[in-house]
Amino acid sequence: MRKSPPFDSQYEAAVGLAEKIAAEGAYCVACISDFSTDETQSADEVFLEQNARFQADIADGAALDALLAELVFSLDRLTAEVSADLDSFRGLTLREKMAGWTSRQRMWRMYTERVREAPVVERLLDLLTKSDALARLIASQRVWITERHKAAERGLVDIVEQRRRLVDSIDIARLKMKELNAKALTTQGRIGVYGNRAHWEQMEAERRALKAEAERISAEEHEMRDDSQRREHFIGLFQSFVDSLNGRIAACNVLLRKLMIDVEERLIIYQAQVDTDRPGMKMRIKPEFFPDIAAPIRLFEKGMLVAQDLERRKSRADLEATGRFPAYGEPLPEASGAPLIDTARGSFRLRLPFPRS
């Protein structure tokens, strides 16, 4: 498994890329909205410019989704490391065992104090802080993308409807041309057969007028056909943009779902690590301190987080996230196959629930 870059630098990179995408995405949506009102927007040279910018924005969106996924999975791996460190506390030190020869109560008190003094609590709080920042970034992206998707889709529907009317006009022009050519041919056949010379000259003038009108409509039909083909190119480009936004909304949903379930896991580990009845311990985790992951924290406050229920939901969320972002979902083989919390004995014993991502 490749080693992930530091969280903070990756997070800053994601924030910077999100700001860039916000500006470029607004430009792309404006292009779609303006397309139906400005005929010059369908020019070939405009397509070349916009195609480059749209494709770059789509690529940046995919890159940002990958960054966000890597951040979510990196926090999951850090949680696995914390859990593994806690697992190392299951055994007693020699000093604690010697104390147990005279007082088992003193032995377990020494063990409890050692576990409490470990930096694991601070590491868990740091993971919750990072989780809150990441949840805020992903949620803001989802809101922004959803708004842009709705606006772009509305514009695309209007453009498609315009092209449909253009195609109808082309069909009507072709029928009119066919009708005029047929009349001109009929008139030509009558010349020299009926009437006198003056009448023939009049029919010839009518034939020429019919042919001229047919040629005029043919030129218009040719222009409309070229315009329709250019619009088809733009519609394909705009559809790709709308599809990419729709895919990004789904990616944000998957990542947020996994992140929130992973936060529940961190809270369960915290709950197993510390005596939350000790003064000040439970107060360190409040919804107002972590507003963007407040939902699982409220469950934590009410004592409603259950490790057994979490295992099933986390397995499903991990599979879904790994399916969408396989590059970041490699399991940790050394941490697989054990339950999340070993509740058979002391509250400090932690294990991991399943092959982790």
Whether residue 17 lies inside any domain: the answer is yes
CA atoms within 13 A of residue 331's CA, in its CB half-sphere? 14
Distance of alpha carbon 95 from alpha carbon 311, whole angstroms: 36
Q: Is residue 219 part of a domain?
A: no
The contacts of residue 210 (CB under 8 Å, 6+ apart) are: 180, 181, 183, 184, 187
In a structure prediction context, what are the per-residue pLDDT tens digits for the chain, which is 357 residues long?
455 678 999 999 999 999 999 999 999 999 998 886 765 566 677 888 889 999 999 999 999 999 999 999 999 999 988 887 776 666 777 887 888 888 888 888 887 777 666 677 788 889 999 999 999 999 999 999 999 999 999 999 988 988 888 888 888 888 888 888 888 787 777 666 666 777 777 777 887 888 888 888 888 888 888 788 888 889 999 999 999 999 999 999 999 999 999 999 999 888 877 654 454 556 678 899 999 999 999 988 888 888 888 888 999 999 999 999 998 875 544 444 444 444 333 333 334 333 343
What's the pLDDT score for residue 41?
60
Is 195 part of a structural domain of the chain? Answer: no
The C-alpha atoms of residue 301 and residue 293 are separated, in whole angstroms, by: 13
The 10 Å Cβ neighbour count of residue 305 is: 19
Distance CA 82, CA 267 (A): 12
Number of domains in the chain: 1
Residue 104 lies inside a defined structural domain of this protein: yes
250 in a structural domain: yes
Indicate the angle between helix axes 120-190 and 44-87, nearest 10 degrees.
160
Q: Which domain holds residue 16?
A: 7-161+238-328
- Cα 332 from Cα 3, distance rounded (Å): 12
Q: 88 lies in a domain?
A: yes
User: What does the pLDDT read at residue 42?
Assistant: 62
Which residue type sits at 81?
A: E
122 part of a folded domain:
yes
Q: What is the pLDDT of residue 347?
A: 36
- The reported pTM is 0.77
